[in-house]
Amino acid sequence: MPTATTPSPVTEPDPSALVCPGEHVGPCATCQRKTHKYGRGGLPLCGWCFGRARERWGTGVRFAGTRD
């Protein structure tokens, strides 16, 4: 298994923010770095914070705002 990569500084936008439409870019709920928002009203997490959350809470964690 690959180990976690070192997060880039929070002043650097998440890679996902660079490839999505501008209106889908918003601050990460945790570190405020620019990242890709998922849906309206959700709390976006950048890739780094999402990875940490998944480590802490297990694979059941999802992006906020996701509904089945």
CB < 8 Å & 24+ apart, contacts of 47-53: 47/14, 47/15, 47/16, 48/7, 48/8, 48/14, 51/4
Restricted to residues 39-58, the positions that interact with Zn ion (CB under 5 A) are 46, 49
Q: Which window, 1-9, 16-24, 38-46, 55-63, contacts Zn ion (CB under 5 A)?
A: 38-46
Question: First-to-last CA distance in the chain?
Answer: 30
Q: Which is nearer to Zn ion, 53 or 58 (CB)?
A: 53
Smallest gap from residue 51 Cβ to Zn ion (A): 9
Given 28, 36, 37, 38, the residue binding Zn ion (CB under 5 A): 28
